[in-house]
Amino acid sequence: MTTKSGGAGDFVRLDLDRVPSPCFVVDRAAIERNLAVLADVRDRAGIKLLLALKAFSMWSLADLVGEYLDGVATSGLWEARLGRSYFRGEVATYCAGYKADEMDEVFALSDHVIFNSPGQAARFREAAAAARARGETFDIGLRLNPMHSEGEVAKYDPAQPHSRLGHPADQLRPEHLEGIDGIHIHALCEQDFPPLRRTWEALKPRLAPYLGQLKWLNFGGGHHITRADYQRDDLVDFLKQVRAETGCDVILEPGEAIALDAGVLVGEFVDVFDNGMPIGVLDISATCHMPDVIEAPYRPALLGEPADGGVLVRLGGPSCLAGDILGDFRFAARPEPGERIAFLDQAHYSMVKTTTFNGVPLPSIALWDSRDDSLEIVREFGWETFRDRLS
């Protein structure tokens, strides 16, 4: 995969020495710009728009998110707790596999509870009825696999062959929609508008016989709506058309779009030596801090990297994993221990995926505002974070 970073933007003005290392730095102004774009699409299209917490869970910005969006989309009990505790608006919960002892709380926390299969929906039908009898109010949804693939990388494609995500649309039968209020479809990843249209066109004939009994359609996430080249007017027209044709409310759940180009991961060199080429060891770990670099894989954008010339340096992390490599990057001159660097577009997914494997410390989290250069260190992590997740 290639990085979707739109460039350094205002981060060229950030003094990297003002924060601990390593540290995620999120620009409040960039988050607000993205939220304003999303709210504009929401308002023009007449839909609901939720933040997918799986991509960006920075609850210190929950009040800001609540000023623009309609709520959050969560991926299970713990995210539902986070959403209900800190964010405003609706909580829509989907999980590929709920556990029975979670369901009472999931029903209590959620406005929409979305099941991955008709079997799970049927298994928890009595629990849902009991929750409603206690006064809980929520809709029930079913996730469908549209059986139409648009994914660039198979491992990130929810519609890949033999996918576990969603009930195959070609197997949908009337009895599967008993007690179902809405359909959830999530088949995109970092994509623009045309793949969404093609996905809907592939699914619509299979869903058409049931549209009259549904209240809402949720098109999930993977929509890079805030990217500069996204076809937002086309999206608005499409969403209006779907609402008119189906009579359903429409919901989108972008995650990355909220935090796109809104954060960097700052780190520093701890060693530089030669092994056929210069090797730079950082206090940033691909394994622990930026796992998508390895899993996707992709090469993250580096703040201030020259287009050519200079010195090519292989960068890796401090862990003992041989594959803890971020890639080969150019520098104007050979870097020295103690020098700071920053990788771009790291506010989404990287922050929520960090681990303490090998005892590597977690990055701090800072909130910066590019409008007035104000900076707040929101969170720092001690070794107790590593200790307390073990036994």
Domains, the chain, with CATH or none: 9-25+263-387 (2.40.37.10), 46-259 (3.20.20.10)
List phi, psi (to 5°) of 272.
-140, 125
- Over residues 299-317, the mean pLDDT reads 97
- What is the reported pLDDT for 316? 98
Other residues' Cβ atoms within 10 Å of the Cβ of residue 89: 17
Q: What is the pLDDT of residues 8-18, one digit of tens each?
A: 999 999 999 99
- What is the reported pLDDT for 156? 84
- What is the reported pLDDT for 152? 78
Local confidence band at 1 (pLDDT 50, 70, 90 cut-offs): confident
Beta bridge partners of 91: 72
- Average pLDDT for the chain: 97
Local confidence band at 4 (pLDDT 50, 70, 90 cut-offs): confident
Local confidence band at 3 (pLDDT 50, 70, 90 cut-offs): confident
- What is the reported pLDDT for 140? 98
- What is the reported pLDDT for 135? 98
Distance CA 290, CA 326 (A): 8
List phi, psi (to 5°) of 208.
-50, -40
Share of the chain above pLDDT 90, in %: 96
- What is the reported pLDDT for 155? 83
- CA 296 vs CA 17, 133, 163, 221, 286: distances in Å: 30, 45, 17, 18, 12
- What is the reported pLDDT for 68? 98
Q: Is 190 exposed, middle or buried (0-12, 13-18, 19+ CB in 10 A)?
A: buried
Distance CA 242, CA 217 (A): 9
Q: What does the buried/exposed string (b/e) look like for 119-153 if buried means 16 or more CB atoms within 10 Å of the residue's CB?
A: ebbeebeeebeebeeeeeebbbbbbbbbbbbbbee
Q: What is the pLDDT of residues 175-231, one digit of tens each?
A: 999 999 999 999 999 999 999 999 999 999 999 999 999 999 999 999 999 999 999
Distance CA 26, CA 128 (A): 39
List phi, psi (to 5°) of 254.
-70, 150
Share of the chain above pLDDT 70, in %: 100
Q: What is the pLDDT of residues 82-105, one digit of tens each?
A: 999 999 999 999 999 999 999 999
Q: Name the strand (E) or helix (H) holding 109.
A: helix 103-109
Give the three-class secondary structure for 111.
coil
- What is the reported pLDDT for 5? 87
Is residue 46 scored above 90 in pLDDT? Answer: yes
Is residue 270 scored above 90 in pLDDT? Answer: yes
- What is the reported pLDDT for 2? 79
What pTM was estimated for this model as a whole?
0.96
Local confidence band at 250 (pLDDT 50, 70, 90 cut-offs): very high
- What is the reported pLDDT for 48? 98
- What is the reported pLDDT for 380? 97
Helix-helix angle 232-246:193-207, to 10 degrees: 10
- Over residues 267-289, the mean pLDDT reads 98
Local confidence band at 349 (pLDDT 50, 70, 90 cut-offs): very high
What tokens does 36 get? Answer: 């304003």
Q: What is the pLDDT of residues 49-71, one digit of tens each?
A: 999 999 999 999 999 999 999 99
- Over residues 133-159, the mean pLDDT reads 92
